């Protein structure tokens, strides 16, 4: 339940709190008094778009805040929790929408910065708006089908169809992609095979190219390398004073005194490293000389091998690691292409199985809709007829979305299908006896469409915890004598949940559990919106004003006052409503 609506610097509102209670609350006021501002503020909490020029002149930011008490609504709390909104133990939820002249607007939920997308998700679960604009839904192609589905309880069937449609779409996409890949790869397969054979025959090996380069250099300069290596080895290990022995002697001389001087100890460490390096160098030179091949044979073969590497690198535009990677990639491509026939067969089978499931689901959903349609139409007509539409008849017209290349066949017709099935459903009406059935938009007036939409909404709004319903001048075009049935419907809905009705008809207004009056006042040279909760006497005066419009003489005014009192009594609203007032506040 919405317990408070708070508005600041929005349109002609300066600062305002509107208290709301359970049951039916009616809002009245003179034409242009600002009732639409209150409706617009509530619409903001549903996530509706709004222009920034509604920020009050001279202000940088306007905001609207709704305080909801969900303490007695566990299903709504669980619903919000699934959407990611945490509701505390007190059950309170605060939705806030901020509009800024400069910069981005903001959404806050329970004081935490949130997103407009989340507000658009959870807002309609807490409140819904019924207005003349909303009756345009009647002309939308999906409205009749969605209404019928909601009333016929086809949720499980629709979920099966949606799942089958998703699976079929994914299977078709994968099949089409694999077919395109197979066609493109088929043109390249022979090239890939030739390239793979060429790289396989080359027997490339990581590191071989560097080994070839080293071997070529050594073979070309074997004599000079042998002489230099032998001379160096002799300096290290031969003669009367080998360098290795001299380094060892120097180490032996310094070691006994190295502990007495840090500098000597450091020099000793350097000598030790030099001795170890000299020993290693000597060992390396011996091995080099032992393995040195002075025979120049094989140079041509090595040059040819190196030339092969260079040619393949130039041809494929890759270095040796790249060539090795390409060889593995070619093998994988060839193997995948050779398996294409098997892959395509499996994907085709999967697509066909999904298509059959989709076809079966669409056919079952089609039959369920057609079977439920007469009873749903009768229920809807029964609900709407008392709303000054006594001659109303409703009928659902069915058509299949025929398509020559469609994926499903229903009743011998090839049809297109979507996640909602293959049906086109229209809602036809007859508002006058003896006339033809036709589309709502063609045969019904604006007021009739509004009442038809209200009746359908009343049926659709079921469930243990329906949201607040805002009815914004749904009685437009309706005479005072035709308003009581609409009001009684709203009272019936208000017994289950909160209803707020903006009206200009006295015969509607008398049925409210509480009555708010909207008025403009002047303060400091500016227009300011005020909202008051009317006490008994004030309410009778407001009903009298709605009855009379312009000023009247004393006798006429007295008659209107008496008639207003009688209307309130007939509606059972003679007791005084709550005495709370809409009050100013500092945000």
3-state secondary structure (DSSP) of residue 109: strand
Longest CA–CA separation in the chain, Å? 147
CA-based nearest residue to 309, from 298, 324, 299: 324
- Choosing from 318, 338, 358, the residue where a domain stops is 338
Is residue 190 in a domain?
A: yes
Burial call 395-426: b when 16+ CB within 10 Å, e when fewer:
ebeeebbeeeebbbebeeeebebeebbbbbbb
Say what the pLDDT of residue 33 is. Answer: 83
Same domain assignment for residues 211 and 331: yes
Same domain assignment for residues 115 and 190: no
Distance CA 503, CA 486 (A): 11
Distances (CA, A) of 237 to 230, 269, 282: 10, 22, 7
Cα 441-486-44 angle, rounded to 5 deg: 70
Is residue 504 in a domain?
A: yes
Same domain assignment for residues 216 and 317: yes
Dihedrals phi, psi of 71, to nearest 5 degrees: -60, -30
Mean pLDDT over 566-577 rounds to 73
- Choosing from 319, 338, 357, the residue where a domain stops is 338
Q: What's the token pair of residue 50?
A: 């709004």
Strands 514-523 and 24-29, by their bridges, are parallel
Is residue 21 in a domain?
A: yes
Say what the pLDDT of residue 580 is. Answer: 41
Distance CA 408, CA 421 (A): 10
Same domain assignment for residues 198 and 308: yes
Is residue 81 in a domain?
A: yes
Q: How many CB atoms lie within 10 A of CB 547?
A: 19
CA-based nearest residue to 247, from 226, 218, 272, 214: 272
- State the pLDDT confidence band at 463, using cuts at 50, 70 and 90: low
Q: Which domain holds residue 86?
A: 1-130+467-587
Distance CA 152, CA 242 (A): 106
Position 133 pLDDT exceeds 70: no
Is residue 460 in a domain?
A: no
pTM (global) more than 0.75? no
- State the pLDDT confidence band at 235, using cuts at 50, 70 and 90: confident
Same domain assignment for residues 200 and 293: yes
Same domain assignment for residues 569 and 484: yes
Q: Tokens 């509480």 appear where?
A: 514
Yes or no: say if 95 and 126 are a contact pair by the CB < 8 Å rule. yes
Same domain assignment for residues 206 and 125: no
Say what the pLDDT of residue 462 is. Answer: 63
- Choosing from 338, 356, 383, the residue where a domain stops is 338
Same domain assignment for residues 107 and 192: no
Is residue 546 in a domain?
A: yes
Position 559 pLDDT exceeds 90: no
Yes or no: say if 539 and 568 are a contact pair by the CB < 8 Å rule. yes
Is residue 448 in a domain?
A: no
Same domain assignment for residues 270 and 333: yes
Position 581 pLDDT exceeds 50: no
Position 445 pLDDT exceeds 80: no
Is residue 148 in a domain?
A: no
Position 38 pLDDT exceeds 80: yes
Give the chain's mean pLDDT: 86
Query: 415-435: per-residue pLDDT in tens?
Result: 999 999 999 999 999 988 888
Distance CA 548, CA 550 (A): 6
Burial call 253-267: b when 16+ CB within 10 Å, e when fewer:
ebeeebeeeeeeeee
Position 587 pLDDT exceeds 50: no
CA-based nearest residue to 7, from 54, 74, 49: 54
Say what the pLDDT of residue 107 is. Answer: 94
Same domain assignment for residues 96 and 12: yes
Q: Tokens 């193997």 appear where?
A: 335
Distance CA 458, CA 305 (A): 87
Position 191 pLDDT exceeds 50: yes
Same domain assignment for residues 334 and 201: yes
Mean pLDDT over 128-153 rounds to 82
Yes or no: say if 307 and 233 are a contact pair by the CB < 8 Å rule. no
List residues bridging with 107 in a β-sheet: 97, 114
Say what the pLDDT of residue 574 is. Answer: 66
Distance CA 29, CA 42 (A): 17
- pLDDT over 90, % of the chain: 35
Mean pLDDT over 39-54 rounds to 85
CATH number at residue 111: 3.40.50.300
Q: How many folded domains does the chain comprise?
A: 2
Say what the pLDDT of residue 114 is. Answer: 92
The lowest-confidence range among 99-108, 295-304, 534-543, 557-566 is 295-304
CA count, 13 A, side-chain hemisphere, 425: 26
């Amino acid at each position: 339940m919405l317990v408070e609506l708070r508005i600041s610097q929005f349109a002609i509102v300066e600062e305002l709190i509107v208290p709301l209670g359970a049951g039916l609350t009616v809002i009245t006021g003179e034409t242009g008094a600002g009732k639409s501002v209150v409706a617009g503020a509530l619409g903001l909490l549903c996530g509706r778009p709004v222009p920034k020029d509604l920020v009050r002149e001279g202000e940088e930011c306007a905001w609207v805040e709704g305080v909801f008490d969900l303490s007695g609504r566990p299903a709504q709390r669980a619903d919000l929790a699934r959407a990611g909104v945490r509701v505390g133990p007190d059950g309170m939820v605060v939705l806030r929408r901020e509009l800024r002249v400069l910069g981005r607007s903001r959404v806050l939920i329970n004081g935490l910065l949130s997103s407009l997308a989340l507000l658009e998700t959870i807002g309609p679960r807490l409140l819904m708006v019924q207005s003349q604009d909303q009756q345009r839904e009647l002309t939308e192609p999906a409205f009749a089908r969605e209404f019928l589905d909601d009333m016929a309880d086809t949720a499980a069937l629709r979920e099966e169809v949606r799942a089958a449609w998703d699976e079929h779409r994914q299977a078709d996409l994968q099949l089409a992609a694999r077919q395109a890949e197979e066609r493109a790869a088929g043109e390249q397969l022979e090239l890939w095979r030739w390239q793979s054979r060429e790289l396989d025959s080359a027997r490339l090996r990581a590191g071989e190219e560097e080994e070839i380069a080293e071997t070529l250099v050594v073979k070309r300069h074997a004599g000079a390398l042998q002489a230099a290596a032998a001379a160096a080895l002799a300096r290290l290990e031969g003669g009367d004073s080998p360098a290795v022995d001299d380094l060892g002697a120097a180490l032996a001389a310094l070691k006994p005194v190295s502990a007495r001087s840090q500098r000597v100890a450091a020099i000793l460490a350097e000598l030790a490293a030099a001795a170890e390096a000299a020993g290693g160098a000597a060992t390396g030179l011996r091995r080099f000389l032992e393995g040195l091949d002075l025979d120049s044979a094989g140079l041509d073969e090595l040059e040819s091998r190196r030339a092969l590497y260079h040619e393949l690198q130039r041809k494929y535009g890759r270095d040796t690691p790249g060539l090795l990677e390409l060889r593995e990639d070619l093998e994988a491509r060839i193997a995948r292409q050779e398996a294409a026939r098997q892959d395509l067969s499996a994907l085709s089978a999967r697509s066909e199985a999904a298509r059959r499931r989709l076809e079966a689901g669409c056919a079952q959903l089609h039959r369920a809709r057609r079977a439920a349609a007469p009873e749903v139409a009768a229920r809807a007509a029964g609900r709407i007829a008392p709303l000054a539409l006594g001659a109303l008849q409703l009928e659902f017209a069915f058509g299949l979305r025929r398509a020559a290349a469609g994926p499903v066949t229903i009743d011998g017709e090839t049809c297109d299908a979507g996640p909602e099935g293959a049906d086109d459903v229209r809602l036809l009406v007859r508002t006058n006896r003896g006339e033809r059935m036709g589309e709502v938009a063609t045969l019904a007036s604006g007021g009739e469409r509004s009442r038809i939409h209200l009746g359908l909404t009343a049926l659709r709004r079921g469930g243990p915890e329906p949201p607040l319903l805002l009815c914004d001048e749904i009685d437009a075009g309706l005479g005072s004598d035709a308003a009581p049935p609409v009001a009684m419907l709203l009272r019936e809905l208000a017994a289950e949940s909160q209803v707020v009705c903006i009206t200009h008809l006295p015969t509607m207004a008398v049925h409210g559990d509480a009555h708010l009056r909207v008025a403009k006042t002047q303060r400091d040279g500016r227009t300011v919106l005020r909202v008051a909760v009317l006490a008994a006497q004030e309410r009778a005066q407001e009903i009298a004003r709605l009855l009379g419009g312009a000023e009247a003489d004393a006798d006429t005014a007295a008659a209107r006052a008496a008639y207003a009192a009688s209307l309130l009594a007939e509606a059972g609203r003679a007791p005084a409503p709550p005495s709370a007032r809409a009050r100013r506040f500092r945000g």
